[in-house]
Amino acid sequence: MGIGVSIATTSLYYGMSLKANKQIAYYPTAHPNWFLSGMHFAYLTALILLVIAIVLVYIIHRIDTVMEKKK
């Protein structure tokens, strides 16, 4: 959980920084669209990590199936 929170927070602030064209380390009260952009970036990051995890689980399952057939 700690790694997930770290990745989510880092991607949120990185996404806000991309939108603002400067480093952001706080909630931008004057620019809520920066926060929304950061949230979109964080959700996209989570989606990419989820797809990678699904692919890895599928590959591991296929390897296990092949190994079982060889026994």
- Tens of pLDDT, residues 1-56: 999 999 999 999 999 999 999 999 999 999 999 999 999 999 999 999 999 999 99
Query: What is the pLDDT, as a whole number, of residue 55?
Result: 98
Return d(Cα 27, Cα 19) in angstroms, integer. Answer: 13
- DSSP-derived letter for residue 3 is H
Contact 23, 31 (CB under 8 A): no
Query: What is the pLDDT, as a whole number, of residue 67?
Result: 87
Contacts of 45 (CB under 8 A, 6+ apart): 7, 8, 11
Is residue 71 pLDDT above 90, yes or no? no
Question: For the whole prediction, is pTM greater than 0.95?
Answer: no
Return d(Cα 12, Cα 24) in angstroms, integer. Answer: 10
Q: What is the pLDDT of residues 55-69, one digit of tens each?
A: 999 999 999 988 888
Return d(Cα 36, Cα 15) in angstroms, integer. Answer: 9
